[in-house]
Structure 1
Amino acid sequence: MPVKLGPGRFSLLLAGLFSAIPAFATDLLQVYRDALTYDAQYTAARASAVAGREKQPQALAGLLPTIAATGNSYWNDTRYKVNVDTLSSSYSNKYNNHSYGVNLTQPLFRWQNFVQYDQSKLLVMQTEANFAQAGQDLILRVAQAYFDELFAIENLRAVQANKTAIAQQLAQAKKNFEVGTATVTDTYESQSRFDLATAQEIAAESELEVKRYALRVLIGKNPGELNRLKPKAVMTPPQPASMEPWVEAAERDSFVVQAQQAATEAAAKAIEISRAGHYPTLDAVANYNQNNGPGQFGVGSIDNTTRQVGLQLNIPLFQGGSVNSKTREAIAKRDVEAASLDNAKRSAALGARQSYLGVVNGLAGVRALEAALVSSLSSLESNRLGYEVGVRINIDVLNAENQVYVTRRDLAKARFDTLLAQLRLKAAVGSLAEGDLEQINTLFEAP
């Protein structure tokens, strides 16, 4: 016999069924992989890397032979007129003239071409380092946008929870005033706090929309629900647990430093290229030419075939001082790149120090805020109890509730800032990769 369920039981059954379905949300790793294919900055960096890699084949072409084929065909209308004393004669001839040839040139000694080939390798190294840095920047931008949206959600939740608590206190204050157990001051104070919380809620909602759109710009779609940081997520301190090894690694291995190092060495090669303008060049040349045309005065035809193989030497003597000027220019540009390299190393060292302190101090701050949250919750309970028995006033409860709200918000911010500092520390030494996102992704769970 079928069992009939009432409306209430049927609703409970549906709720149970839907609660058994696992919740799906977008995780940090999925957002990153979406950004790999959509983000405009990374797409531009990828195209720039493809273009930069062509420097080496272009420079190699300067060491390889060049072959050129030429050909022409002319229609000729020739008229001759000879005058000797009182006698004159004329002659006209119309004919086609054809010629074609093949020229080969093989550079044997062109010092600037050899140096340009070496320089091209450095330029490709610079391109690869810049592209690797763009990949790290993408990871940081994705993490920043992901954490910003999660923090905006936590901030809105805290604001709404604070508003709800204040609304309850406002209702209680109004009730107590009506029965004469409280003054109107409590009502005014609660109303003021409620209006302020309403304004904070509007601002928090607006901030969440902005952060949500910022993440959408990176991946080109609405990510939907995001995985949330686990309440008991454990963040590990940096290894090695000393700042100096990180600083030394940043000065040596940072992709920004590597790119600038390659740029500096390439600028030094440019000085050699400029100076090579004074050097002679030697090429091996080979020519083959075929000419077809009529004979003298249109009689018969002439086929002329020329084959040449030899060496061609070019010795520059004076070029108006342009070589010396370009050399001085190249030296100045080398000095610019060298100074930029010093700045890149110092900036990398500073970034490593800041990120290392961000992780260490962030972990300490998280532990302190976790303890502060426990204390704030205990204080709130004590104030509520004191208010019920008459030893605390309404403003004491409101202050305690607000402290809980502020502590929760600060704790969420500290956690996200610490995670981001961990990623930035890895980026400072050029080791940030997708695997680091995978590791952080394990600290999150579906909401």
Structure 2
Amino acid sequence: MKINKYNSLIFAILFGFGLSAQAQTKVWTLEECVRYALDNNITIKLSELDVKNAAIDKKDAFGNYLPSVNGNAQHSWNIGRNTNPITNANTTETTQYTQLGVSAGVDIYKGLQNQNIYRRTKLSIIASQYQLVKMQEDVSLNVANAFLEILFNKENLKVRKEQLAIDEKRFTRSEEMVNAGTIPRGDLFDLKATVATDKQNIIVAENTLLISKLSLAQLLQLKDFTNFDVVDDTNVKDENGILLQNPVDIYNKAKEIRTDLKIAQTNLEIAEKNVVIAKGAYQPTLSGFYGFNTRAGYSDQVKFDENNIPYTTGPDPVFQQFSDNKGHNFGLQLNVPIFNGFSVRNNVERNKVSLEKSKIDLEQKSLDLQRNVYTAFTDAKGALNAYESSTVTLEARQQSYNYAKEKYDVGLMNSFDFTQAQTLLTNAQSDVIRAKYDYMFKIKILEFYFGIPIVPIIKN
């Protein structure tokens, strides 16, 4: 029989968990999960590297203030007729020359572009730090959601196991009633099928729980997830009284602290600085330069004696030539932009468009925040009402089930009707669990907007 890849993967995971079932299991709290994720999550590490890159860009911008200094050296062989760079005489021979030099340049005025570029890099560092904080906030919420998903699946599995235990006892009781002639044998077959279905539901619930644990372990970047489990903290409570707050107050608080708005505001300031930098290209630039060079040759020289009679002698000592042939040059260079194919103007206009987009983005982020806060508040209120209503429904279903059980035990209700009552009870129990964790997560979101993190986030 063929086993597809998905089934093989599930089997391997189940087998791995089975082998380690007896091993010591590390039980994690929500705070521990979030803190571990903040320290180890890959996306957060990438954001941290972006902050480092922004700091390097700032060093580059500071370097624009400093002069540039370069050294050069050249050694050449000239064959045939050429000009001797030492004597400037035309010769026909093979010669060697060495040339050394140092040059330096510095921007004196560049339309204040260097200063504005430096200020922009400082804003970029702030923006990257805000982006890191936002990534930490997003990971925290994702971890909280995955954590609560595990708790939901654990409680769901517990309900399924309790249901199986009840049905197995009922099956045993029904066998006795069939033997006593109280109920027909057909009811026993129905109960046997119900028990089998309960066992299937438990397998599905166990697999769902396993996958949810695996998802959180991967979010935490855990290498060994076989012994991973979380604390069964299932209390439903609004510890910080966030629902007692007015949504207007929550929104005003969120406007002060939300990282999304800070990122948008910083990007707007960067866009404004880009416009100023682009306009700087309209202005003249003034730079200073300095150069030093010297050279030496290695060919024989023709000299004249006191009677003006030529004679041939070897080259002067190299270091003496370097001393005799040294030279300096320095000065100022002024560049005035006159016409450049509209490139400067187009660049200014392009940055103005980006500035307008940044303004709109900031406005949109503010509107989104207002909508998200009011939605989160309404959702949390609704989730609380849903939880309270499902609890009332569960109590009624429990009473209905108890009444149906009493009737079934004395033969006044058939197996089908009793199973229906039991199914309604199981569904009510599942609804309570689902509503409870939905409420818990939505409270976390609302607290998040009000500036109450799951764990304190350390800002760089």
For normalisation by structure 1, the TM-score amounts to: 0.79
- Rounded to whole Å, the distance in 2 between the matches of 1:398 and 1:278 is 84
Paired residues for 1:181-196 under 5 Å: 181-183=182-184, 186-187=187-188, 189-191=190-192, 193-196=194-197
Instruction: Give the partner amino acid of 1:318.
Output: F
- Rounded to whole Å, the distance in 2 between the matches of 1:430 and 1:119 is 29
1:165 partnered with 2:175: no
What corresponds to 1:287 in structure 2?
291
Paired residues for 1:232-247 under 5 Å: 235-238=239-242, 241-247=245-251
SS of structure 1 residue aligned to 2:242: coil
Give 5+ residue unaligned stretches, structure 1: 1-21, 82-88, 437-447
CA drift of 1:309 comes to 4.3
SS of structure 2 residue aligned to 1:229: coil
Q: 1:90 to 1:413 in 2, by over 3 A?
A: closer
SS of structure 1 residue aligned to 2:105: strand
Q: Deviations over 1:92-120 (max 9, x none)?
A: 36242322223132443342222222222
What corresponds to 1:210 in structure 2?
211
What corresponds to 2:369 in structure 1?
348
What corresponds to 2:438 in structure 1?
417
Q: 1:191 to 1:335 in 2, by over 3 A?
A: farther
What corresponds to 1:143 in structure 2?
144
Q: 1:234 to 1:279 in 2, by over 3 A?
A: closer
Instruction: Give the partner amino acid of 2:140.
Output: I
Give 5+ residue unaligned stretches, structure 2: 1-23, 84-89, 304-315
- Rounded to whole Å, the distance in 2 between the matches of 1:226 and 1:121 is 42
What corresponds to 2:228 in structure 1?
224
1:66 partnered with 2:68: yes
- Rounded to whole Å, the distance in 1 between the matches of 2:366 and 2:390 is 35
What corresponds to 1:441 in structure 2?
none
What corresponds to 2:30 in structure 1?
28
For normalisation by structure 2, the TM-score amounts to: 0.77
SS of structure 2 residue aligned to 1:163: helix
SS of structure 2 residue aligned to 1:121: helix
Instruction: Give the partner amino acid of 1:29.
Output: E
1:272 partnered with 2:272: no
Structure 1, 51-60 or 136-145: larger mean CA deviation: 51-60
CA drift of 1:25 comes to 2.5
Q: Deviations over 1:346-369 (max 9, x none)?
A: 222222223223333333443444
Instruction: Give the partner amino acid of 1:58.
Output: D
Paired residues for 1:331-346 under 5 Å: 331-346=352-367
- Rounded to whole Å, the distance in 2 between the matches of 1:214 and 1:63 is 50
Q: 1:321 to 1:230 in 2, by over 3 A?
A: closer
Q: 1:152 to 1:333 in 2, by over 3 A?
A: same
1:260 partnered with 2:264: yes
Q: 1:231 to 1:92 in 2, by over 3 A?
A: closer
Q: 1:294 to 1:182 in 2, by over 3 A?
A: closer
SS of structure 2 residue aligned to 1:339: helix
Q: 1:265 to 1:236 in 2, by over 3 A?
A: closer
- Rounded to whole Å, the distance in 1 between the matches of 2:98 and 2:344 is 44
What corresponds to 1:100 in structure 2?
101
Q: Deviations over 1:214-236 (max 9, x none)?
A: 01212313253321025576644
C-alpha contact (below 8 Å) 1:93/1:297 kept by paired residues? no
Q: Deviations over 1:216-261 (max 9, x none)?
A: 2123132533210255766443076111122233344321221122
- Rounded to whole Å, the distance in 2 between the matches of 1:401 and 1:104 is 88
CA drift of 1:294 comes to 7.5
C-alpha contact (below 8 Å) 1:97/1:292 kept by paired residues? yes
What corresponds to 2:3 in structure 1?
none
CA drift of 1:122 comes to 2.0
Q: 1:80 to 1:389 in 2, by over 3 A?
A: closer
What corresponds to 2:20 in structure 1?
none
Instruction: Give the partner amino acid of 1:421.
Output: K
- Rounded to whole Å, the distance in 1 between the matches of 2:369 and 2:262 is 11
- Rounded to whole Å, the distance in 1 between the matches of 2:449 and 2:234 is 27
1:387 partnered with 2:408: yes
Paired residues for 1:350-365 under 5 Å: 350-365=371-386
- Rounded to whole Å, the distance in 2 between the matches of 1:61 and 1:429 is 42
- Rounded to whole Å, the distance in 2 between the matches of 1:433 and 1:195 is 42
Q: Deviations over 1:319-371 (max 9, x none)?
A: 11212222222222223333332332222222222322333333344344444
C-alpha contact (below 8 Å) 1:110/1:282 kept by paired residues? no
Instruction: Give the partner amino acid of 1:282.
Output: L
Pairing partner for 1:323 from 323, 338, 344: 344
What corresponds to 2:307 in structure 1?
none
- Rounded to whole Å, the distance in 1 between the matches of 2:359 and 2:96 is 66
